[in-house]
Amino acid sequence: MENPVLIFGAGSLGLTALDLFQRNSVVVYGLLDDNKELHGKEFGDVSVLGETDDDGFLKLIGHKCEAFIAISDARVRKRLVKMLNERRKVQPVNAIHDTAIVSSMATIGHGNLLAARVVINPYAEIGQHCIIQAGTVVESQAKLGDYVQIGTGSIINSGVTIEEGAFIGTGATIIAGIVIGKGARVGAGSVVVENVDAGATVFGNPAKKI
């Protein structure tokens, strides 16, 4: 990546993205966050410059720098993506850790974060603006919709479909062929052996609706 990156979000996910870009020798221009208490704070040689709607910095995006949204709240991510699409006519870039393994036969959209030791196997499909935390395995022919978030160490087996906005907790296992509906939530450590309805929350081994 030739241009520097402006990261939206200076919380834990923003710092993960900062480390990830720096490990890939990508210059980070700065961080933006709506928490005024963070403004001016420095992480190494990178500062929190201002708020996420600061036009003085936004006008750089698309010309002199790229953008990445590192905010876990999917509603905020969607709002910021829409703003970048409409005002700057750009899509956020991907942030892929140097230890992640992504098959050349997999398909990945825009604005995704793939943390350390993530594995994306052949013919898996990753949508846009997903957060896939460290050590997650997405097996062959699994499909993730947009704005999906997957917790550390989860196993998404072959042929699984995870629809838009679903949340998979840390250490969950989704058995092959299962469908996780739009906006559904799977609790940490759960083993999902049957389809999960849109908007439902499941937990346990085997996972049950709660």
Over residues 20-56, the pLDDT tens digits come to 999 999 999 999 999 999 999 999 999 999 999 998 9
| Mean per-residue pLDDT, 128-133 | 98
Cα 84 to Cα 33, 62, 92, 120, 152, distances in angstroms: 15, 9, 8, 27, 28
The mean per-residue pLDDT over the stretch 62-69 comes to: 92
pLDDT in tens, 80-103: 999 999 989 999 999 999 999 999
| CA–CA dist 132, 136 (Å, integer) | 7
**Neighbour-count burial of 79, counting CB atoms closer than 10 A to its CB (0-12 exposed, 13-18 middle, 19+ buried):** middle
The CATH code of the domain at 5-93 is 3.40.50.20
Task: Say if domain 96-202 classifies as CATH 2.40.170.20.
Answer: no
Percent of the chain topping pLDDT 90: 94
What is the location of CATH 3.40.50.20 in the chain?
5-93
Q: H or E segment at 5?
A: strand 5-8
Instruction: Report the pLDDT averaged over residues 164-169.
Output: 98
**CATH 2.160.10.10 boundaries in the chain:** 96-202
Sequence-distant (6+) residues with CB within 8 A of 202 are 184, 185, 186, 187, 190, 192, 196, 208, 209, 210
Which pair of structure tokens corresponds to residue 176? 């092959």
B/e letters for 182-202, b = 16+ CB within 10 Å, e = fewer, are: ebbbbbebbebeeebeeebbb
β-pair partners for 8: 32, 69
The predicted model gives 182-203 an average pLDDT of: 98
Looking at residue 133, what is its pLDDT? 98
Question: How high is the pLDDT of residue 64?
Answer: 87
Tens of pLDDT along 101-113? 999 999 999 999 9
Q: What is the mean pLDDT of the chain?
A: 96
Q: What pLDDT, on the 0 to 100 scale, is given for residue 145?
A: 98
Position 63 scores a pLDDT of 82
| Helical ranges in 59-112 per DSSP H | 74-83
For residue 124, pLDDT over 80 is answered with: yes
